[in-house]
Amino acid sequence: MERVVSGIRPTGRLHLGNYFGAMVNFVKMQNTNECLFFIADIHSLTTHPTPEDLHGNVRQTLIEYLASGLDPEKAVIYIQSDVPEILELYTLLNMNAYVGELNRTTSFKDKVRQNPNNVNAGLLTYPVLMAADILIHHAAKVPVGKDQEQHLEMTRTFARRFNNMYRVEYFKEPEAFNFGRQLIKIPGLDGSGKMGKSEGNGIFLADEPEVIRKKVMRAVTDSGPVTPNSPVSEPIQNLFTIMEVVSEPSTLEYFRESYANCTIRYGELKKQLAEDIIKFTQPIYERMKELSSNDSYIRNVARQGAEKARAIASQTVSEVKEIIGIKKF
């Protein structure tokens, strides 16, 4: 079985876009691959969260992952900071990561532009920590979005460079993996673009039904079709796209037809869409509440995950040290 590693930033709340874009596929992959999923809390320190925010977000992210179907019996689920070996490997890899190449990383340049007052060394070496996350498990595949492909390319570079420098064939070059046609892009409710975290445009798995109704009812539409079979505008197509994943095919068919013959009422479409979204998110929402009140279960998941991850990680680090020449006297 091919080993898959993926890190998720502890953002706290997953929206439908995250769910259909990544989670659904992660949940499937647990059955076909040896999966390790972790919460990248050390990475998130680059933005200086408060201790309360950090801990709360890690906990909430873990809960949402479990509620969405990540299964600790099938995959190794852990918190990055629970595996100190990753930080050890990160330190060692940093010696062969050049400031020039780190400076040229697109994500770093973006961050510098966005937050010129917080250009910390952790941001600069973000790709090295990510490489440590991946290489420590000798992952074959890493499911990532477009924005992470450059980081993965750098991971391969660091792996190759290490192998060349020490004349070994130790690290495997991991492959970026996107879900191709299985990847469903969920649009936002604001008329254009994809669903994001910004307020108003996203529906979160943790949203109360009443909140979901309000958000959907406020979704951007257009002034309605005037001639039969006119092309569907972007805001309406976006609602259809969401409908495609949460509603019955006959529901979607009904509204597509009523659009085509100009009898569509957007109020009715939105009402139906809101109810179908709620029907879909409700079980996840209930599981989230259950998990939230079960601290000992959460603690156990994290502890067991860390144990399994550390078993692999500690072996890698001791082999790497041996190769480098760090040997016990």
* One residue of 64, 133, 207, 276 binding ligand TRP per CB under 6 A: 133
Phi, psi (rounded to 5 degrees) for 49 = -70, 155
Based on the shown chain and the rule CB under 6 A, indicate whether residue 9 belongs to the binding site for ligand TRP: yes
Q: Which stretch binds ligand TRP (CB under 6 A): 3-11, 52-60, 198-206, 255-263?
A: 3-11
Look up residue 21 and give its DSSP letter.
I
* One residue of 4, 7, 207, 281 binding ligand TRP per CB under 6 A: 7
Site string for ligand TRP, 138-177 (x = CB under 6 A): ----x-x---x-----------------------------
Q: What is the DSSP string of 252-266?
A: HHHHHHHHHTT---H
Tell me the two tokens of residue 83: 């595996």
Shortest distance in whole angstroms from residue 290 CB to ligand TRP: 27
Which one, 129 or 236, has the nearer CB to ligand TRP? 129
How many whole angstroms separate alpha carbon 215 and alpha carbon 128?
A: 39
Which one, 46 or 272, has the nearer CB to ligand TRP? 46
Shortest distance in whole angstroms from residue 316 CB to ligand TRP: 15
Which one, 88 or 133, has the nearer CB to ligand TRP? 133
Residues 276-295 that bind ligand TRP (CB under 6 A): none
Closest CA to 21 of 155, 145, 200: 145
Shortest distance in whole angstroms from residue 162 CB to ligand TRP: 17
Shortest distance in whole angstroms from residue 130 CB to ligand TRP: 4
Paired sense of beta strands 34-39 and 141-143, if any: unpaired
How many whole angstroms separate alpha carbon 97 and alpha carbon 125?
A: 8
Phi, psi (rounded to 5 degrees) for 124 = -60, -40
* One residue of 16, 58, 134, 246 binding ligand TRP per CB under 6 A: 134
- Helix 266-292 crosses helix 209-217 at what angle (to 10 degrees)? 150
How far is CA 300 from its chain centroid? 23
Q: Which stretch binds ligand TRP (CB under 6 A): 129-137, 193-201, 260-268, 271-279?
A: 129-137
Based on the shown chain and the rule CB under 6 A, indicate whether residue 6 belongs to the binding site for ligand TRP: yes
Active site residues: 111, 194, 197
Q: Which residue's entry shows tokens 């673009």?
A: 193
Residues found in the chain: 329
Q: Which residue's entry shows tokens 């690290």?
A: 171
How many whole angstroms separate alpha carbon 78 and alpha carbon 215?
A: 33
Closest CA to 189 of 237, 239, 227: 239
Residues 6 or more apart whose CB falls under 8 angstroms from that of 10 comprise 39, 40, 41, 44, 54, 57, 58, 60, 61
* One residue of 5, 135, 243, 309 binding ligand TRP per CB under 6 A: 5
Say how many residues touch ligand TRP, by CB under 6 A: 12
* One residue of 4, 36, 123, 130 binding ligand TRP per CB under 6 A: 130
Which one, 46 or 238, has the nearer CB to ligand TRP? 46
Based on the shown chain and the rule CB under 6 A, indicate whether residue 40 belongs to the binding site for ligand TRP: yes
* One residue of 17, 23, 27, 43 binding ligand TRP per CB under 6 A: 43
3-state secondary structure of 78: strand
Q: How far is CA 239 from CA 130, 181, 224, 262, 273, in A?
A: 36, 20, 13, 16, 8
Shortest distance in whole angstroms from residue 292 CB to ligand TRP: 24
Which one, 43 or 270, has the nearer CB to ligand TRP? 43
Shortest distance in whole angstroms from residue 315 CB to ligand TRP: 19
- Where along the sequence are the contacts to ligand TRP (CB under 6 A)? 5-7, 9, 40, 43, 130, 133-134, 142, 144, 148
